[in-house]
Structure 1
Amino acid sequence: MYCDECKKRPATVHVTKIINGQKSEVNLCEECARAHHKEWSMAYDDNFPINKFLAGLLGFDAGKATGSVSLNLHAPGKCEHCGANYNQISQSGRLGCHQCYDRFQDKVEPLLRRVQGSNRHTGKVPKRSGGSIRLQREIQSLRAKLQQHVNNEEFEQAARLRDQIRELEKGMAE
């Protein structure tokens, strides 16, 4: 895709604005984006730091950081594995290690729900491989629907789902 402005260079900056329900999209190269950045409500930055974005979601203003780590009385202590504290994590926007998820769970879980919509990673399965994984997920989904129908005493729909689950399980066994 080429730049909408100069039509010469590849578009690397994609701006989508929604104003009063009207959506407009502009695809620009870096040079044209720099030339038009004042027209947008946000400034264009060559090195958009995702960690600053995440730090903002954590409630830390990275612009006010002076390089020293101040104590946050509301944050729990340090991670026993890597030694990171919550202030360091909120400044960098990155967890120190895998155990930080457990140590700072009460702070990280709401953030993950806001950013990703869930705090559980389900991942994606390639279509060519992983057919059995997709079948297992479909069976789990159908079982949840089956339980809802049973709870609502919708037994005909529940019976259809039960039969569908049995067919999928038969296909997995083969």
Structure 2
Amino acid sequence: MAIPCQACEKNSACVHLTDIRPSGEAVERHLCESCAMKEGVAVKPHTMSATVLEEFIKQGLGLKSLAERVCPQCGASFKDFHEQGLLGCPYDYTAFADLLKPIIEKAQEGAARHTGKTPGPSDENARRQATLSRLQRSLKQAVEAEQYETAARLRDEIRTLEER
């Protein structure tokens, strides 16, 4: 069963983010492609081939052998994975390793291991905005506490950051 997008609640989530709050708490968010793009998350287009079974048939694997292949831990078949796009458990990676490797390499542009995503320009902008907000709060507190030297230093830091 697909996870619904937490933003629009209409589409299935295909982007899964883990946000780290200032307290260090990790919060997972699940978004559809369009909501992720609205939040500035670059979504690289990649789709699992609809003809995965055909590719395996060309390699000499028949439909019957794929349908019969079952994970000994959870009982999920490779056919289940193909229909749902989800594996049943972590052991499926081992049970279907030879079948999954070409799919993973295709999705990872030739790499057999997931290397993750690098932060995009929007992430840098978000960090800058968070730093500005923190400095502005500190400036306000310094002025209220009549710590004018600290306030002047914070004011200068804010100006420098805003000029970038």
Instruction: Tell me the TM-score normalized by structure 1.
Output: 0.32
Q: TM-score, normalised by structure 2?
A: 0.34
